[in-house]
Amino acid sequence: MIKTVIKSADGMVMVFDKMGEQIPQYQGQYKEVKALILKDDPPEARFGCFPNGGQELMIVPREEW
């Protein structure tokens, strides 16, 4: 089950479960995996990104991710 979703500055997406393990089927370029992630994510999933190419992770609402 999806717990954490992070989009890097270059558009790569990393997805982790509640144990911190990566979930490969949801990982890849943002444009390619966004719809699948948003279809399958539970309400408690957390989304993050690196705005403006920065190095500090920012937690964002699902709708803004």
pLDDT 10s digits, 13-56:
999 999 999 999 999 999 999 999 999 999 999 999 998 777 89
Residue (of 63, 64, 59) closest to 3 by Cα position: 59
What secondary structure, in 3-state letters, does the chain show?
CCCEEEECCCCEEEEECCCCCECHHHCEEHHHHHHHHHHHCCCCCEEEECHHHCCCCEEECHHHC
Residue 24 and residue 16 in contact, taking contact as beta carbons nearer than 8 Å:
no
Instruction: Write down the pLDDT at residue 13.
Output: 98
How many residues appear in the chain? 65
Instruction: Write down the pLDDT at residue 53.
Output: 74
The pTM of the full predicted model, rounded to 2 decimals, is 0.91
